[in-house]
Structure 1
Amino acid sequence: MAMKRLVLVGGGHAQLAVLRALARTRPQGLETVLVTPSPWQYYSGMLPGWMAGHYREEDCRIDLRPLADAAGARLLIGAATALEADRRQLRFEQAPADGGGPADSLPYDLLSLDIGSETDTAALAGLAAGRLLAVRPLPAFFTAWPRVVDTARATAGFRLCVVGGGAAGVELALAAAQALRKHATTAQIALVCPPAGLLDGHAEGVRRRVLRQLVAAGITVHLQRAVGEADGLRLVGSPASHTLPPGGRLQAESCPQPDDRLLPADCVLAATGARPQAWLRRSGLACTAAGWVRVDAHHRSLSHAEVFAAGDVCARTDRALARSGVHAVHAGPILAANLLATLDGRPPRAYVPKPRSLYLIACGPRYAIASWGPWSAEGGWVWRWKDWIDRGFIRRHRDAAAARR
């Protein structure tokens, strides 16, 4: 049989499961290549704990090099910048390191995409240079956040704004408050949420618990749309948006006139939703209007049967899936099974998500809130539960690599 080439683009959560499956099976007649811009895969679930000082940076990342070695995969350190799906060619802006040659393209027989997403900061583009820090890409955030803390320590009345009302925005705001409080700064922190409100889609009990934590941390909450300007955020109001005072009601109340004022900010942390990398739209793959790769229940491309995708990069056509790391982790074993099944000519399996997902929301200190459908709980025990899950995720992949040595 002719050697086939499987190219794994990105080292995301789902791709980790593919590497583990390849390490277990070591299929014959297969050349595997992992293409990633960094040898480290950062785990987003531990980012708030790292910001708050509970973890070291090395606690929050997985070294892809031993995993690739265990899987028998060649590791190319470089960023993919284009894909010619009809020609089965992955392209790079420059030849990746350890590529075995100067080529700026890589042909494939089978392709797996798990490159995540970018933070959609279009509405904040008017901020002056150096004031905007997006939560993704994670490696850049890990590099930049300590500099923000140093600046806050040296600046009286430092003003930090977090934009985004989902779990990520809440965790960023609470982690930032914990970090800056630990360094005895006089920083002022605000959380700006979309008019739909705080943690839209979560139960009312969860939102009440989170609001209490935000108030206790001294964080001001604004239920308004934010537009970036040079010196801060323009809060564009509507009849149903206002600032929540400490102890105020959770949902926005009706205001007689729209608000339109500037919220000064020395730094803005953006957790403003995801957008796909631009080159996907030009790849020839079937994509949504927004640019996400369209896949079926097997996470196979609707237009190119030799292409699979999982995590933030794709959009299911049979059902709506939240862009959450939970789905990337759970879809990983199915992605791995389907790649191997394609090589063997076996039928693929469908990824069937659970009806609801568990969210464990870090609150700054070693304290967390659990959200699962209508049920919620909070306390130090929830933090310990989250810590056990997160550390276990990292340890599981480190152990998988060590087992092959």
Structure 2
Amino acid sequence: MTHLVLLGAGHAHLFVLQQLLSTLQKTPDICKVTLISPQRWQFYSGMIPGWIEGIYSIDQCRINIKNLLLGSDIRFVELDAVGIDPDAKTIQLSDASSVHYDLLSIDIGSGVRSIPASDGAQSAYQFMNIKPLARFCDQWHTFIETTAQTKDSAVTLAVIGGGAAGVELAFAANARLKQLGPNNKVTLVTGQLGVLPNFSRMTRWLTHRQLREQSITVLKGHAKSSDKGLMVNDKIQRGVDCVLTATGACALPWLTQTKLQLAEDGYIAVDEYHRSLSHPTVFAAGDTCSRRNSPLKRSGVHAVRAGPILAHNLLSCIKANAASLEGSAGKALPLPLKAFKPRRHSLFLLASGRRHAIGSWGPFTVAGRWVWRWKDSIDQRFIHSFSYDDE
């Protein structure tokens, strides 16, 4: 029996789990499945800005993986992975144990690039990194509680990152801080390329208009952390109490210690089927991989769309393995692997604070409260499709 290990509970693996639960109900002996994830909660990044602003509760923004697996034979290992040996087909875990697999799928996300810093730099202000999301949520909750208790003094928060994540965080943080005090301020530091460099001109224009209307200061340039405080273009930004970084994704460093072929950017190199270029029994999806000859933006949009394709391909491999073990000639061949074909344009709905959103699809852009309601409907439908009541 094939032992399939799912490493990580990212967006793509949620669809794989859904398909596996359905398949195992009908044919329980088709495979053995183990899910490895450091915690039972899968946070949905699309709703985190709404939680920051105070629109959602934290439970509305996360999926209880353990509940999703209730009543199934899928084993859940609640530990961090610290290494992979694809030749020996083993995964090393943080408690020094290991798990053997026949087929492996990896969906562990990515890290965030750090800003340059000198010794003692972070002592000048509180520092929060958007990833991992679980830790950030704890830090943000504490920060807001502390800010709420100090109403007499204004707070200044700097968000580092001009991409979609940084822009959404700046809007959400500004809306929440303004609820606690009118003199609280947010500054968005974008990098040299400015706000949303990979989006259309109209999307950038509408975003800048919202930033101005909401009195969010925008600084274009490089950020650096020093023992005197945050520096932008080598100038100290005085009075910054907290820095929140969303400076773009980076591959998790420990992947370099595996024997998996990596792309130039450090992510796992995969083909159009999301299969490793070096080890055919390994698949990868979401932010943890780079596709050969088909670069994609690191976005949950692509991970969600790749999920059903990944599920199909994993089950095809399992069926092929089962057929070969049975040695039964004449049986129907398993379905071939499917290639994931990303659309030329993807829909991005950016939360711009105060229940307002900006929608972008290639060259087309829309904005307004109705766009936020559209986004809210999509996000909540996604969460509810994987949620079960706690027992």
Q: What is the TM-score with the length of structure 1 in the denominator? A: 0.88
Aligned pairs for 1:34-73 (under 5 A) are 34-69=35-70, 71-73=72-74
State how far apart, in whole Å, the 2-side matches of 1:11 and 1:274 are. Answer: 18
Letter in structure 1 aligned against 2:144: V
**Counterpart check, 1:136 vs 2:131:** yes
Which residue of 2 is the match for residue 101 of structure 1? none
**One-letter code of the match for 2:312?**
A
2:328 paired residue number: none
Structure 2 residue 365 is the aligned partner of structure 1 residue 376:
yes
Instruction: Measure the CA separation in 1 of the matches of 2:71 and 2:346.
Output: 31
* Post-superposition CA distance 1:241-275 (Å, at most 9, x none): xxxxxxxxxxxxxxxxxxx3111321111010111
Contact 1:22 1:72 in 2 (8 A): no
Q: 2:236 aligns with which of 253, 262, 277?
A: 262
> What corresponds to 2:337 in structure 1?
348
Report the AA paired with residue 84 of structure 2.
L
Structure-to-structure mapping, 1:189-338, within 5 angstroms: 189-236=186-233, 260-264=234-238, 265-338=240-313
Alpha-carbon shift at residue 145 of structure 1 (Å): 0.4
1:106 partner letter:
V
Shift of residue 344 of structure 1?
A: 1.6
> In the alignment, does 2:103 pair up with 1:110?
yes
| 1:196-234 deviations in Å (ceiling 9; x for gaps) | 111011111111111111111111101101111134322
**Segment drifting more, 39-48 vs 60-69:** 60-69
Q: CA deviation at 1:398?
A: 1.7
Shift of residue 5 of structure 1?
Answer: 0.8
Q: Assess if the C-alpha contact under 8 Å between 2:7 and 2:35 holds in 1.
A: yes
* Matched-pair contact (CA < 8 Å) for 2:30–2:318: no
8 A contact 1:132–1:269 mirrored in 2: yes
Q: Which position in structure 2 is the counterpart of 1:188?
A: 185
In the alignment, residue 295 of structure 2 is paired with which amino acid? A
Alignment RMSD: 1.7
Q: Match for residue 13 of structure 1?
A: 11
User: Matches of 1:66 and 1:128 in 2, distance apart?
Assistant: 38
Could you state the TM-score of these two structures normalised by the residue count of structure 2?
Answer: 0.91
The separation in 2 between residues aligned to 1:188 and 1:20, in whole angstroms, is 43
Is residue 13–residue 332 contact of structure 1 (8 Å, CA) maintained in 2?
A: yes
Change in Cα spacing, 1:343 to 1:39, as seen in structure 2 (3 Å) is: same
Measure how far apart 1:171 and its partner are.
0.7
- Kindly indicate whether the alpha-carbon contact (under 8 Å) linking 1:161 and 1:190 is maintained by their aligned counterparts in 2: yes
- Look up the SS of the partner of 1:300 in the other structure: coil
Q: Say whether the 8 Å CA contact 2:177–2:185 is kept in structure 1.
A: no
Runs (4+) of structure 1 moved beyond 4 Å?
Answer: none
Which deviates further from its counterpart, 85-94 or 260-269?
260-269
The aligned residue for residue 176 of structure 2 is 179
Moved more, 269-278 or 223-232: 223-232
Once the two structures are TM-superposed, the CA of residue 67 in structure 1 deviates from its matched residue by 1.9
Q: Secondary structure at the match of 1:286?
A: coil
Give the SS at the match of 2:212: helix
Name 1:163's counterpart in structure 2.
Answer: 160
| Partner residue in 1 for 2:324 | none
User: In the alignment, is the contact (CA less than 8 A) between 2:115 and 2:223 conserved in 1?
Assistant: no
Which residue identity does 2:282 align to in structure 1? V
Give how far 1:70 is off: 5.2
Cα deviation per residue 1:306-338 (whole Å; 9 max; x = unaligned)? 000000000001211110000000000011000
Deviation larger for 107-116 or 181-190: 181-190
Separation in structure 2 between the aligned mates of residue 21 and residue 125 of structure 1, nearest angstrom:
48
Distance (whole Å) between structure 2 residues aligned to residue 301 and residue 109 of structure 1: 14
Judge conservation of contact 1:116–1:311 (CA < 8 Å) in 2: yes
Separation in structure 1 between the aligned mates of residue 116 and residue 72 of structure 2, nearest angstrom? 42
Distance 1:124 1:223 in 2: 19
Question: What is the letter of the counterpart of residue 278 of structure 1?
Answer: P
Measure, in 2, the Cα distance between the counterparts of 1:75 and 1:189: 41
Q: What amino acid maps onto 2:218 in structure 1?
A: V
Amino acid across the alignment from 1:139? A
The residue number in structure 1 matching 2:140 is 145
Q: 1:343: Cα distance to partner?
A: 1.1
Q: What aligned pairs does 1:70-85 form with structure 2 within 5 A after superposition?
A: 71-85=72-86
Q: Percent identity?
A: 41
3-state SS of paired residue (1:54): coil
Q: Secondary structure of the equivalent of 1:69?
A: coil
Q: Distance in 1 between matches of 2:181 and 2:267?
A: 43
Report how many residues are paired. Answer: 369
Equivalent residue, structure 2, for 1:388: 377
What is the Cα deviation at residue 122 of structure 1? 4.3
The CA distance in 2 between the partners of 1:230 and 1:70, in whole Å, is 53
Does the Cα contact within 8 Å between 1:82 and 1:279 map onto a contact in 2?
yes
Matched letter for residue 316 of structure 1: R
Structure 1: stretches of 5+ with no match in the other structure: 96-103, 237-259
Residue 101 of structure 2 aligns to which amino acid in structure 1?
Y
Indicate the SS of the match to 1:209.
helix
Q: Which runs of 5+ in 2 are unaligned?
A: 321-333
Residue by residue over 1:91-142, the C-alpha shift from the partner in whole angstroms, topping out at 9 and shown as x without a partner, is 01216xxxxxxxx000100001000011111425763146221111111111
Structure 1 range deviating more: 264-273 or 328-337: 264-273
8 Å Cα contact 1:300-1:309 kept in structure 2: yes
Q: Which amino acid aligns with 1:176?
A: A
The answer to whether the Cα contact below 8 Å between 1:131 and 1:268 also exists between their aligned partners in 2 is: yes
Partner-residue secondary structure (3-state), 1:352: coil
